[in-house]
Structure 1
Amino acid sequence: MTASPSTTSESEYTARHLQVLEGLEAVRKRPGMYIGSTDSRGLMHCVWEIIDNAVDEALADRGDHVLVTLHADGSVSIADRGAGIPVDIEPRTGLTGVEVVFTKLHAGGKFGGGSYAASGGLHGVGASVVNAVSSRLDVEVDRGGKTYAMSFRRGEPGIFDDGKAGPSPDSPFQPFTAGSELRVVGKAKRGVTGTRIRFWTDPQIFLRDARLDYDSLIARARQTSFLIPGLTIVVRDERGLPDTPGADGPVEEVFRHDGGISEFTEFLAPDPGLTDVWRLQGEATFTETVPVLDAQGHMTPTEVERLCGVDVAVRWGTGYDTKLKSFVNVIDTPKGGTHVAGFEQSLLKVFRKQLEVNSRRLKVGNDKVEKDDILAGLTAVVTVRLAEPQFEGQTKEVLGTSAVRQIVSKVIERELTARLTSTKRDDKAQSALVQEKVVAEMKSRISARLHKETQRRKTALESSSLPGKLKDCRSTDTGRSELFIVEGDSALGTGMAARNSEYQALLPIRGKILNVQKASVGDMLKNAECAAIIQVVGAGSGRSFDVDAARYGKVILMTDADVDGAHIRTLLLTLFFRYMRPLVEAGRVYAAVPPLHRIETSAQGKAKGEVVYTYSEQEMRQVIAQFERKGKHIKQPQRYKGLGEMDAGQLAETTMDPARRMLRRVTLKDAENAERVFDLLMGSEVAPRKDFIVDSAQALDRERIDA
């Protein structure tokens, strides 16, 4: 009787087919499990692991200086002035502390032994993993008046025979055989301790195009210096790579911020401040059941009391973008976790309670404020510090310690309530501004929702919800339709005759709209012109803006070709940039380019006269000179002071007819420049405006003054 295929397969699969990966071999076999990937991200993760170990010394008050050097040969070194890695013998393994840290997975001083109350390293695999994926790693330790050294090749300890060219992973290597040796290579100054690590990543592990990202390194160094006040981090680039700050020679950048996360919040904020930075701090204890190794070597579940410190900085600005960064110890948690959940839960609870108390003054009505209304314009840095936090994976992107949520929530509720109900003059004024902003955001969200519910295109005759002054088009094809925002009733009259009413709509505005750069959201919504524009576009405003709901494919700003027209256009651009930015990003906002002059030649015999429109004084003089050279007689050139001075045919020909007009698409950079100019010339900061006026006085052309 012959065996079936399945029986044969089962009999061939025996214990000898199983592989047991010892030590660092597992890391080299499956590096992605430990460093995320083998591209540039994994390479940067290795650098972070060593930097975090150096920063942990500063967290434990055992050092205040970290030097990161990018060497010309592609290696990276990190030096700190911490306590130094232990150099004595670890009793269980019989190896020195240095060798244990760099060759044994899950070995280190951060498993609750009391050496680190809070740290970035948690799993004891960081240094050993970096060693495993490096073609060479050198470590030097200053401790007890001596300098100790040890080298590794792909995780194996030994000695490199370096020549005059200096250390290199390609130098001859002799592994230790009988027993490893921690060499004494010099003397350290009395009282000086620290660790220096230099490593070369292994080309057998990493992809050929894996590169260190200098900008990411700088951003991480700056971020860490904000999180640990008093810590100095120096990044030195010796690579001389093109398109980097160090292209022309070695360059150093030094980061130190004694203001901590208050400074960090100001640095992150994308808009002018509505409030100062409010610091919300507190701490509480919680118990956690963890396995602890007892005297007999058994893992025993034990209840441990933990201390969780909460430190949060918040600041509301005039805009609606949200910037929220969260950290556990010094670990960035970009995907949040229990600390962020506790923060947001408490924000919602506190504001709902305060708005209920002040509902009559703020005219809240029966509507409920939502989380997004409160987060609009908020810049916040949420940090918690605790021993042995629980994360999801070695990359530590999400905090999982459940008790932290309640602790953060209680601290924020207590501290934020105290701020919002404070009787101090500044706190009281800022509290009122924030609550008004939140209510305005709520009303804006509700308004946007109502617009979305009535998304179907309607003409002015079909819907009384649109402003009566809107001269709508007949087409319901959003991709084809155009909205012209025109300056004044005279331009509207000419535009009505010049437009194609099938797909071109006109909305007149009276003069100069509100400067939304320094106005609150509430003031903007109360302004008739701003409200009309947002209503007609029909896609909401701020963070609730839905570009797919916009009623027109193009929005064209059609203002006079003079200084006042440029002023109005800049005000409109600022409105679109701050409250309808996705429309700008989608390239659907345009500026019409009306001409300044109309030059017409007289008919000569059978030849008809020519008409040319020009857009500047210089262009007008050039055209006149060309006609004169050809011997053509020129009628008196017509100078347009405004769109209302054109007749319908001229306006259609130059500005509204798609076949002949010229439009300038507004880019995000144009809108940013408009906002920057208004922030300078009309913002709340007086000093920059004064400096601008003084500096620009010499460049003024006095002939341009209308006096």
Structure 2
Amino acid sequence: MTESGKPSQPANVNEYTSSHIQVLEGHEAIRRRPGMYIGSTGERGLHQLVYEVVSYAVDEHLAGHADAIDVTITADGGVRVADNGRGLPVEVEEPTGKSGIERELTELSFGSKPRTGYGVSGGLSGLGLCVVNALSSRLTVEVRRDGYRWTQEYEKGTPITALTRHEETSEHGTAIAFLPDADIFETTRYSFATLSERLQELAFLNGGLAVSLTDERPERPVRYHHADGLRAYVAHLNPYPPSLVHSPAIGFESENEDQTIFVQVAMQWNTWPLRELRSFANSTRTHEGGAHEQGFRTALTDLVNDYARRQRHLPADDEDITAEAAHEGLTAVVSVKLARPVFEGSTRTRLSNPEADAYVQKVVREHLTDWLDHNPNEAAAIIRHILNSSTGRGKE
């Protein structure tokens, strides 16, 4: 992977074909049990539809084939998501007689993306587009690929037109426009603020990716592009410079030898007592934390104690600095991208991979120790802040 979290060896466009899609079950199962796939039929589930389509586009970015995603809340209350990636496959596969587009949008498929060279995959890992289609009263897909523009229309997960080839084009990418089914969702009104927050978050997590959001109800455009990645995210979360213990934010990243896990961390201490740790796995917010958070917390507490004693800020006979004190006033973002993430529960809010715990600990110990050693004045300010924190030492 590169500095922005992209795999170091992008997948070849010819490796992404219809043959990589495996069938599990049809769209009727999704319409009968939508909560199993998107968590709820309320506002959270409604917005999850957008996130699933956007996740497909982010995967194209991570594979090295897209650098822009444009999201539009359309005047009729639907959503359109467009990217400049490779475009969904259009060739027909035997014996199904279906195009890659139709299979992706109508069959619950698992494993299509990982088998095409995606090092990681967000969303429902290959299920997202089918789920969105099944829960939409109508959906239109437009693909630019293989020298032409292609379109197809669906209603409630079922194709109502054949895949149609249009004019020649040298462009490439996929655009999906959908209208959520009012018979399924408690509300079909999208929140600009909710979508804006998540899209900005994705721009922070995927440095180099430009994400835009436009609301046609009336028009209200925003665009996010953060080359500085997670350090820009931490700066966004810490908008009051006078309260900072040190500046700029600390940031580092690392990938293991097998290229199966990529870790990015950014952190900054403040004089205020509040703390905030945001963690992500494959660009999905892990609200309940998990292995990667545990690895960060463990390594940080141990490292702060080791450094404080090594620099004689903490006498040998004094009690250790507690985890509570070490995290006093800390704002941090921990992002991991894994080839095979394991989540607890259908809502994917807690990461279980034990290797994430071990590797995050290793990365934090190595890189944060190096930063402290090379920035002695800032390091001393951090240790003084921790030692003088209101939580004190010897408390849990």
TM bucket by the smaller chain?
0.7 to 0.9
- 1:421 counterpart SS class: helix
Measure the CA separation in 2 of the matches of 1:138 and 1:108.
Answer: 24
Aligned residue in 2 for 1:486: none
Q: How does 1:187-266 map to 2 (within 5 A)?
A: 187-188=168-169, 190=170, 192-207=171-186, 209-240=187-218, 250-266=219-235
Q: Offset at 1:254? A: 1.2
Give deviations 1:353-401, integer Å, cap 9, x for gaps.
1223344x44575222111111111111111122231222443211122
Contact 2:72 2:81 in 1 (8 A): yes
Aligned residue identity for 2:154: F
Query: For 1:199-226, what per-residue CA distance to the aligned partner results, in whole angstroms no more than 9, with x for missing partners?
Result: 011111111x442121111111111111
1:368 maps to which of 320, 330, 335: 320
Query: Counterparts in 2 of 1:309-328, with a 5 A limit?
Result: 309-328=262-281
Instruction: Tell me whether 1:308 sits opposite 2:311 in the alignment.
Output: no
Q: Compute the TM-score of the two structures, normalised by the length of structure 1.
A: 0.50
Cross-structure match for 1:149 = 151
Are 1:68 and 1:78, in contact at CA under 8 Å, matched by a contact in 2? yes
Contact 2:277/2:333 (CA < 8 Å) preserved in 1?
A: yes
Q: Deviations over 1:174-223 (max 9, x none)?
A: xxxxxxx31113322x2x1100100011111111x442121111111111
Contact 1:364 1:439 in 2 (8 A): no
Is the CA contact (8 Å cut-off) linking 2:254 and 2:262 kept in structure 1?
A: yes
CA distance in 1, matches of 2:346, 2:147: 35
Q: Does 1:428 align with 2:381?
A: no
How many residues were matched structurally?
A: 370
- Contact 2:321/2:393, CA 8 A, preserved across alignment: no
SS in structure 2 at match of 1:85: coil
Matching residue of 2:236 = 267
SS at match of 1:78: strand
> Would the alpha carbon gap of residues 106 and 395 (structure 1) be closer, same or farther in structure 2, given more than 3 Å must change?
farther
Shift of 1:139: 0.3
Q: CA RMSD in A?
A: 2.1
Structure-to-structure mapping, 1:519-558, within 5 angstroms: none
Q: Does residue 1:399 correspond to 2:351, yes or no?
A: yes
Are the aligned partners of 1:232 and 1:255 in contact in 2 as well (CA < 8 Å)? yes
Code of the aligned partner of 2:138: R
Please list, as runs of the form range in 1=range in 2, the aligned pairs for 1:51-200 lying within 5 A after superposition. 51-91=54-94, 93-107=96-110, 109-110=112-113, 112-159=114-161, 181-188=162-169, 190=170, 192-200=171-179
- Taking the aligned partners of 1:332 and 1:74, their CA distance within structure 2 comes to 26
User: How much identity, in percent, do the aligned residues show?
Assistant: 36
Equivalent residue of 2:381, what SS?
A: helix
In structure 2, runs of 5+ residues without a counterpart are 1-23
Deviates more, 1:25-34 or 1:83-92: 83-92
Q: Deviations over 1:399-425 (max 9, x none)?
A: 122111101101111111222233xxx
Distance 2:93 2:288 in 1: 38
How far did residue 29 of structure 1 move?
Answer: 0.7
Which is greater in Rg? 1
Gaps of 5+ in 1: 1-20, 160-180, 241-249, 286-304, 450-543, 545-707
Separation of aligned partners in 2, 1:106 and 1:369: 49
- What residue in structure 2 maps to residue 699 of structure 1? none
- Shift of the 210–143 alpha-carbon distance from structure 1 to 2, 3 Å rule, reads closer
> Taking structure 2 as the reference length, what is the TM-score of the superposition?
0.88
Q: Deviations over 1:114-143 (max 9, x none)?
A: 431122145321111111111101101000
Residue 440 to residue 364, structure 1, CA distance change in 2 (3 Å): farther
Give 1:238 shift: 0.7
